[in-house]
Amino acid sequence: MAISLDEVRLLIEAALPGAEVEVVDETGTQDHLRATVKAPQFEGLSRIDQHRLVKKAVQARFDDGSIHALSVKTEPR
């Protein structure tokens, strides 16, 4: 079951209000995604903690197999 890029973007935006989120499909099969996220909530957080926030937003979709792989790039906004 693939997932729409919009859905991933919305999940991240919902978890991180005020974030600028871009989600692209790396392989054309909609299960290897790349999310670039700039969020105010990242200020002062280590990279790993920034990534944890993004991963948590989409965890259910990892668990049900909709997302096979997600590359994440974060920076504070």
Partner 1 sequence: MTDPQLKDKVEELIREHKVLLFMKGTPEQPRCGFSMRTVGVLDQMGVDYAALDVLPALQPLREVTAEISDWQTFPQLYVNGELVGGCDIVEEMAASGELAELLGVEQPAEVAAPPQPQPADPQQSPPIQIDS
Cβ-based nearer residue to partner 1, 1 or 48: 48
30 to 69: interface string for partner 1, x by CB under 8 A: -----------------xx--xx--x---x--x------x
29 near partner 1, judged by CB under 8 A:
no
Q: Is the dihedral of CA 48, 53, 56, 61 positive or negative?
A: negative
End-to-end CA distance of the chain: 33
Residue 32 beta carbon to partner 1: minimum distance, rounded to whole angstroms: 9
Q: What does each C-alpha distance from 46 to 53, 66, 74, 75 come to in angstroms?
A: 11, 27, 10, 10
Q: Which residues bind partner 1 (CB under 8 A)?
A: 47-48, 51-52, 55, 59, 62, 69-73
